[in-house]
Amino acid sequence: MGKGETLVTMGAMVMLSVTAINVNNSFTENSEYFNETRHTLETIALANSIIEEASQLPFDEQSWDSTIVEKVATDFTDVGDLGTDFGESSYATFDDFDDFNNFAVAETTMQNIYQINCEVNYIHPSYPDSSISTRSLYKKLTVSVRNPVNNDSLVLSYVHGFWYFN
C-alpha cells in the first residue's frame, strides 16, 4: 500500500470516527430530551388528576344544605376554615372542593417520587390570579408538582364557581 492509499484510509477512519461521535451525541441528546419530556408529561398528568378529583366535588359543604333556598357567599366556609374537616385524612374522604387546601402528598411513579402541594383560595372573578380575604362564589385550586428530574415545579390552577338553579 502506498503513501496515498494510507493517507486516504486514515482520512476515512477520521471521518468515520467523527461521524460516530456525532451520531452518539445526537442519540444522547435525544435520550435526555425524551426523558425530560416524559417526566414533564408525568408531572402534568399528576396535577391534572388532582384537579379532576377536586372538580367532581361540591363547591362547599354548605352547598348541600337544602334549607337555604338561595345561597350567597356568606353561607359558605370561612376563609380561615378552608381545608379538611374532622375525619378527612386523605383525598378519598374529601367531601367538598376546599378540602384540598393545604393538601400535600408524595406520589410515587415507576421511576420517581413527585411532591404535590395544593392550595385553595376564594377569588374575585375579575381577578382570578389573586386570592381575597372574604368569601365569594369562586374558589381557585392551585396544584404545584415538583419534578424531581430537573428540580422544577409545575403549577396548574382550576377555578370552581358555585352555580345554583331553581
Spans of all domains in the chain: 3-161
* Model pLDDT for residues 37-55, shown as the tens digit of each residue: 788 888 899 999 999 999 9
* Model pLDDT for residues 115-152, shown as the tens digit of each residue: 999 999 999 988 888 889 888 889 999 999 998 777 78
The SS3 of residue 95 is coil
Least confident of 24-33, 53-62, 75-84, 143-152: 24-33
Q: How confident is the model at residue 90, as a pLDDT?
A: 77
Could you tell me whether strands 113-124 and 104-108 are parallel, antiparallel, or unpaired per DSSP bridges?
antiparallel
Of 98 and 67, the structure prediction assigns the larger pLDDT to 98
Q: What is the mean pLDDT of the chain?
A: 80
Specify the residue for cell string 376554615.
Answer: 81
* Cα 160 to Cα 56: distance, rounded to the nearest angstrom: 10
For the record, the C-alpha cell of 126 comes out as 375579575
If you average pLDDT over residues 20-25, what whole number do you get? 64
Q: How confident is the model at residue 108, as a pLDDT?
A: 84
pTM of the shown model: 0.76
**Contact yes or no for 131/122 (Cβ under 8 A):** yes
Whose CA is closest to 156, among 33, 78, 40? 40
For the four alpha carbons of 95, 100, 103 and 107, in that order, the dihedral sign comes to: positive
For the record, the C-alpha cell of 128 comes out as 382570578
Q: How confident is the model at residue 37, as a pLDDT?
A: 79
Burial environment of residue 53 by CB neighbours within 10 A (0 to 12, 13 to 18, 19 or more): middle
